[in-house]
Amino acid sequence: MQPTNDAALQTSTAQPTHDLPVIAPGHTLASITDKITSIVLRRDTPLAWAAGLALASTGLFFLVISIAWLLAKGTGVWGINNEVGWGFAIINFVWWIGIGHAGTLISAILLLLNQQWRTSINRAAEAMTLFAVACAGMFPLLHVGRPWLAFWLFPIPNTMGVWPQFRSPLLWDVFAVSTYATVSALFWFTGLIPDLATLRDQAKNIWAKRIFGMLSLGWRGAAMHWERYEIAYLILAGLSTPLVVSVHTVVSFDFAVSIVPGWHATILPPYFVAGAIYSGFAMVLTLMIPLRSAFGFKDFITDRHLNNMAKVMLATGLIVAYGYVMEAFFAWYSAAPYELAMIHNRMFGAAWKSYWALILFNVAIPQLLWFRGVRLNPMWLFMISIVVNIGMWLERYVIVVTSLERDFMPSAWADYYPTKWDVMLYIGTIGFFFFAFFLFIRFLPSIAIFEMKSLVPRRDAGGAKGSAASSTKEGTHHS
């Protein structure tokens, strides 16, 4: 059997097909393989990719410089002070980890809910999770001041005879975030194994073959292997689902378990989780809209995907809006003077611009998503996703800073101003994030090949590209 005979064979087995709602009509197992692997295996590197990587590298450079300066001088180079001990570090930590949550939601929760449209976006979304968690993890690590002693956070037997304090949400966070990072990495790698084997078999270059061969662990798609694989994958999804909720709940406990006005509220866990998914979907859209244009993935990441992601954003955005309303309501209804002062300070105090900007960005502008025309317009969607990314950052800024600037005693009031090192470190993590993402889309399959193959109807699996198109209705636009 020569590969040249493939086309003839495929045509001969073509059959009428069903609706193809989440993948453009006419794709076969072979065309999916070729389309996705060609991006990784192409010999020439697109100039735009190199330019993007170079830009991201500049950010990475900022990261290295700002960390080096921080380690040399200590956390005094940041804008934090005695009263506002949680500045940019915690704001950025919460922002990044929230972004990561959409990846897990797409790969795990939507898998359990049998939402087929997740298939083409889950790989890139999981990669986004991994890199976002890496960015998030840097901040508390650096914030401890002496990161080389960060292992004290873990219960490691030591000659001092001391142990961590297990009743503190900050320690829960250590366990939650490190578990989340580990499970996200496992989930991502497990998903990659069969695709790495595909790359091994498709690669012509001997080194590519060897490297992908080693990474794929010798996967050969045996039925027994698939059986165990599916069990492991499904259980990982089942584990990740409560995990992702627990992680942001624990992050909110860092605030809610304290007695600081504006933090000590029972609404915080659900409101934080919804906010995390909200910002995460915004980031997925920020990444996917250029990605699908640049790589010609519009057959796989269809308008239906954009539409659905926009709907998830709208829904979670409304939950977040409810959270803002409830914060104000609780403050008023509690009649506690400190809570009232807190909400008044947020709305009309020194940071009033940030507060109303976040209301505009997170509540007002995303209402455009009610319109189908906006949801199906990549340009509008891209701009709204950027607006929500900024809005969610401002939300964390307002929560962290305004409450700490003005708590109980006027003698404990202070103002917070970030320094250039705060800003540089933040830009640095954005650079790192995009640097890693650029490497990912070039060297690994950014769409799950084997999962896409499961979307091709059985009868059509060997069908030729042209023959199925005519019988397929436009299934990509309704959901």
Partner 1 sequence: MKHETPSIYGVLAEFAGADELVAACKRVKAAGYDKVEAYSPMPVEEAGHALGHKSYLSALIFCGGATGAITGFGMQTWISVFDYPLNVGGRPFFSWPSFIVITFEMTVLFSALTAVIGMIALNGLPQPYHPLFNSAAFERATRNRFFLCIEAADPRFDLAEVKKVLQSTDPLLVEEVPQ
Eight-class DSSP state of 362? I
Q: How far apart are CA 9 and CA 474, in angstroms?
A: 27
Q: Work out which of 85, 137, 213, 349 binds partner 1, going by CB under 8 A.
A: 213
Query: Closest CB to partner 1 among 15 and 471?
Result: 15
DSSP state of 155: -
Instruction: Tell whether residue 137 is a contact of partner 1 (CB under 8 A).
Output: no
Q: How does DSSP classify residue 8?
A: H
Q: Does 208 bind partner 1 (CB under 8 A)?
A: no
The pattern of x and - marking residues 284 through 323 that bind partner 1 according to CB under 8 A reads ----------------------------------------
1 binds partner 1, rule: CB under 8 A: yes
Helix 169-202 to helix 88-104 angle (10° resolution) is 50
Q: Which of 47, 149, 156, 224 is the binder for partner 1 (CB under 8 A)?
A: 224
**45, 158, 190, 205: residue in contact with partner 1 (rule CB under 8 A):** 190
Contacts of 335 (CB under 8 A, 6+ apart): none
Q: Which amino acid is at 194?
A: P
Residue 258: other Cβ atoms inside 10 A = 13
Contacts of residue 229, defined as CB under 8 A and 6 or more positions apart, other chains included, come to 190, 193, 194
Contact criterion met (CB below 8 Å) for 200 and 221: no
Q: Which of 7, 113, 163, 293 binds partner 1 (CB under 8 A)?
A: 163
Residue-wise DSSP of 62-79: HHHHHHHHHHHH-GGGSS
Q: Is 16 in the site for partner 1 (CB under 8 A)?
A: no
Residue 451 as a binder of partner 1 (CB under 8 A): the answer is yes
Radius of gyration of the CA atoms of the chain, in A? 24
Among 20, 22, 23, 28, binds partner 1 (CB under 8 A): 28
Measured CA to CA in angstroms, residue 141 lies from 61, 147, 233 at distances of 19, 6, 31
223 lies in the binding site for partner 1 (CB under 8 A): yes
Of 71-79, 88-96, 200-208, 429-437: span binding partner 1 (CB under 8 A): 200-208
Length of the chain measured in residues: 479
Tokens describing residue 287: 């990444």
Q: Is 161 helix (H, G, I), strand (E, B) or coil?
A: coil
Q: Is 108 in the site for partner 1 (CB under 8 A)?
A: no
Question: Out of 62, 96, 139, 219, which residue is the one contacting partner 1 (CB under 8 A)?
Answer: 219
Alpha-carbon distance of 428 to 350, in angstroms, equals 28
Query: Taking CB under 8 A as the rule, does residue 383 contact partner 1?
Result: no
| Residue 295, token pair as written in the block | 């790589």
Q: Which stretch binds partner 1 (CB under 8 A): 42-50, 77-85, 103-111, 197-205?
A: 197-205
Stretch that binds partner 1, among 215-223, 274-282, 387-395, 436-444 (CB under 8 A): 215-223
CB 116 within 8 A of CB 476: no
User: Which residues 165-184 are close enough to bind partner 1 by CB under 8 A?
Assistant: 165-167, 169, 171-172, 175-176, 179, 182-183
Angle, alpha carbons 281-286-290 (nearest 5°) = 135
- The smaller minimum CB distance to partner 1, of residues 223 and 379, is found at 223
Asked whether position 162 contacts partner 1 by CB under 8 A, the answer is yes
Binding positions for partner 1, rule: CB under 8 A: 1, 3, 6, 9-10, 13, 28-30, 33, 155, 161-163, 165-167, 169, 171-172, 175-176, 179, 182-183, 186-187, 189-190, 194, 197-198, 200-202, 213-214, 217-232, 235-236, 239, 242-243, 246, 250, 253, 450-451, 453-454, 458-459, 461-462
